[in-house]
Amino acid sequence: MKSKAPIYFLLFAMAALFLGMFFGMTASFQYLTPEFLKEQIPFSKMRPFHVTSVISWIVLCATGSIYFFLTYVEKFKLFSPLLAKLHFILFLLTGVAIYFSFAFDYTEGREYFAFTPVLIVPILIGWVLFGINYFKTLYKNVKGWPVYYWMWGTGIVFMCYHLMEAHFWLFDFFRLNFIKDFSVQWKSTGSFTGSWNMLVYGISIYLMSKIKRNTDVATNKIAFFFYFLGLTNLMFGWAHHTYLLPTQPWIRYVAYAISMTEWIVLASIIYNWKRSVLKVEKDNNPMAYRFLLATDFWIFINIILALLFSIPAINFFTHGTHITVAHSMGTTIGINTTILFSALFFIIHHLYPEFQTDKKWVKRGFVSFNISLLIFFVSLIIAGAKRSYWMYVSRDGSFSEMQDSLVPYYISFFIFGIAIFVSLSIVAFPLFKAFFQKIKP
């Protein structure tokens, strides 16, 4: 009997997504009514809950999908099902501990890793267990890896490194030098994102090759060229986050040069794939295919934005504004989440070949998700442009007055945030139910 660990990971991921969206909604409400429950659940308390939950969604869903593909689709014998089980239990318990850490204000960490720093130890151990299982399983079963196996392996290794790097501030060598410390903090954060992108983008290429039933998309030289370009960005392209920090200029020069290649990576691969996809194959996985098409759209939008603000002269005006938030929402929701939902639909089709994935309500949820995300995204862009105008052009009025002038955009952001929550819940509910059936004794 196959290990149920992948299904547990996917259920855990979907629960994290639901909670993450709920916390996000609660936190964003405070943009509209700043004094609402501010002493009980201030924004500063809700934000870590939101951020950690949605990052967990991405990482857990990617992990569960990879375990699933290896064991259920490729039918490899996992090196150790026990390690996979331990990995899941460790992440589950750490997740609970992190929520307790936030609830009871043990938040000595930093942005994105606000929990008490000792909790990074079990997280790291979990990644090491995943790495051992992954590399040992592939070493035994595959000769000449397609690009997605390289991407997943890279994601796992760099995840371990950058989770450690994000905690270098615990050492005085970094901590006492503010500029060095701050740049290493944002280096690690940028590359942490790059690491999960390796996992998620690897999944998208895997899905393309499976839906299309053509392995060439994952084995040709162009796919590897883009993988190496992505890896170079992961390693050296982080410093566009810190263009305005007085680091040594060469760090920023390197980032400027490398950032210009960012995002072209996946867009090109998907573009080449879509042109030749066969109808009969997409009919087998209609929702997985639709979600990948949505990914295509969101990549296109985010490429434009990312390329523009990787130019220092533009970054100068967009940095520190909601345009950066629009970019992170556009990439985590628009790109990562659509790829992961595509994976969930592919997986459900594999588990239940008769399962009708494109039910009426699911299709409606998919459409309203994309429309809501677009309005949500545009609201943030406009809010960011107005904030930038206030910072650099008008330079007039207090921060509070500027915030008040953004309320209409915050209302839109809040309403369409709810719409994203509802739409994704509609799409996710039948999947969650079906996965849940699978783990019932």
Partner 1 sequence: MSTDSRPYIFVIAILLALFGFYNYVVYNTDGYVAIEKLSPTAVKGQQLFQSNRCWSCHQLYGLGGYLGPDLTNIYSSEGKGPNYIKAFLNSGIKSMPQFNFSEEEKDALVQYLKQVDETGIYPNYDAEIEATGWVKLKYRDEE
Shortest spacing between CB 172 and partner 1, in angstroms: 8
Q: Which of these segments, 17-25, 244-252, 286-294, 428-436, binds partner 1 (CB under 8 A)? A: 244-252
Nearer to partner 1, 81 or 117 (CB): 117
- Binder to partner 1 among 26, 107, 412, 425 (CB under 8 A)? 107
Nearer to partner 1, 48 or 365 (CB): 48
Q: Which of residues 386-405 bind partner 1 (CB under 8 A)?
A: 391-392, 399-400, 403
Nearer to partner 1, 225 or 432 (CB): 225
Q: Which of residues 197-226 bind partner 1 (CB under 8 A)?
A: 215, 219, 224
Q: Which of residues 251-280 bind partner 1 (CB under 8 A)?
A: 251, 256
Shortest spacing between CB 290 and partner 1, in angstroms: 27
Shortest spacing between CB 412 and partner 1, in angstroms: 15
Binding mask 59-88 for partner 1 (x = CB under 8 A): ------------------------------
15 near partner 1 (CB under 8 A): no
Q: How many residues bind partner 1 (CB under 8 A)?
A: 72
432 touches 353 (CB < 8 A)? no
Nearer to partner 1, 227 or 435 (CB): 227
Nearer to partner 1, 80 or 214 (CB): 214
Shortest spacing between CB 108 and partner 1, in angstroms: 5
Q: Which of residues 331-390 bind partner 1 (CB under 8 A)?
A: none
Shortest spacing between CB 356 and partner 1, in angstroms: 31
Shortest spacing between CB 107 and partner 1, in angstroms: 5
Q: Which of these segments, 14-22, 268-276, 317-325, 352-360, binds partner 1 (CB under 8 A)? A: 317-325
194 touches 234 (CB < 8 A)? yes
Report the Cα–Cα distance between both ends of the chain, in Å, rounded. Answer: 13
| Helices 178-212 and 43-68, packing angle to 10 deg | 40
Beta bridge partners of 110: 113
Shortest spacing between CB 341 and partner 1, in angstroms: 27
- Binder to partner 1 among 1, 104, 144, 396 (CB under 8 A)? 144
Residue 110, φ and ψ in degrees, nearest 5: -115, 180
Nearer to partner 1, 263 or 435 (CB): 263
Query: What's the per-residue H, E or C state across the chain?
Result: CCCCHHHHHHHHHHHHHHHHHHHHHHHHHHHHCCCCCCCCCCHHHHHHHHHHHHHHHHHHHHHHHHHHHHHHHCCCCCCCHHHHHHHHHHHHHHHHHHHHHHHCCCCCCECCECCCHHHHHHHHHHHHHHHHHHHHHHHHHCCCCCHHHHHHHHHHHHHHHHHHHCCHHHCHHHHCCHHHHHHHHHHHHHHHHHHHHHHHHHHHHHHHHHHHCCCHHHHCHHHHHHHHHHHHHHHHCHHHHHCCCCCCHHHHHHHHHHHCCCCHHHHHHHHHHHCCCCHHHHHHCHHHHHHHHHHHHHHHHHHHHHHHHCCHHHHHHHCCCHHHHHHHHHHHHHHHHHHHHHHHHHHHHHHCCCCCCCCHHHHHHHHHHHHHHHHHHHHHHHHHHHHHHHHHHHCCCCHHHHHHHCHHHHHHHHHHHHHHHHHHHHHHHHHHHHHHHHHCC
- Binder to partner 1 among 89, 103, 108, 356 (CB under 8 A)? 108
Amino acid at 415: I
Nearer to partner 1, 1 or 248 (CB): 248
Beta bridge partners of 113: 110
Shortest spacing between CB 110 and partner 1, in angstroms: 6
Q: How far apart are CA 32 and CA 404, in angstroms?
A: 9
- Binder to partner 1 among 69, 88, 152, 186 (CB under 8 A)? 186
Q: Which of residues 284-313 bind partner 1 (CB under 8 A)?
A: 311-313
- Binder to partner 1 among 68, 127, 150, 369 (CB under 8 A)? 150
Q: Which of residues 43-62 bind partner 1 (CB under 8 A)?
A: 43-45, 47-48
Nearer to partner 1, 162 or 349 (CB): 162
